[in-house]
Amino acid sequence: MATHLQDPFDLLGIAPRFPADLEAVEAAWLAASAKLHPDRAKDPSQAAQDLARINHAKQVLSSFEGCANALLARLGGPAAEDDKALPEGLLVEMLEARDRLDEARGNEAAMQEIEAWAREHRDRHLVHVTELLSVARSGSDPQLLHDIRVQLNAWRYIERFLEQIDREQD
């Protein structure tokens, strides 16, 4: 089975929650890695594949976005490629922000103001995702799962904008 299709919570044997307990993720990853070490494995090639899955699970659960996406998938929610919806008005806001960014080139104070706006906007989506995931359960109302996806899409959209700002500042 492909790495990206396996539930990272199950692979590491930790409770599915958002955000993930990073100490539990690290401890589970270390324990699994020790068991799968090539020097201990009867089948080193299988151990390498299993270790790759464990490493991927740790990577996914160690990021807010990865963990939220993994939990949404576990709950039966739509993947980003299946539901590209964004909150109403976000595209207009982002186009205006991109225009402000273009105008701000070379103006450090204006760049910092735009970056602060984007970070605040992204953090609001993070709070909303956290709230929605705290009430979602397997078999939740499809509208709730869609709403989580919309917030995650917005979060990622703003994250890409922040990455663009970082490139502009380099």
CA torsion 60-24-13-56 (nearest 10°) is 20
Residue 5 is predicted with a pLDDT of 56
Inter-CA distances, 8 with 2, 23, 34, 74, 92, Å:
12, 15, 18, 10, 35
* Per-position pLDDT tens, the chain of length 170: 334 458 999 999 999 999 999 999 999 999 999 888 777 777 878 888 899 999 999 999 999 999 999 999 999 999 999 999 999 999 999 999 999 999 998 899 999 999 999 999 999 999 999 999 999 987 779 999 999 999 999 999 999 999 999 988 77
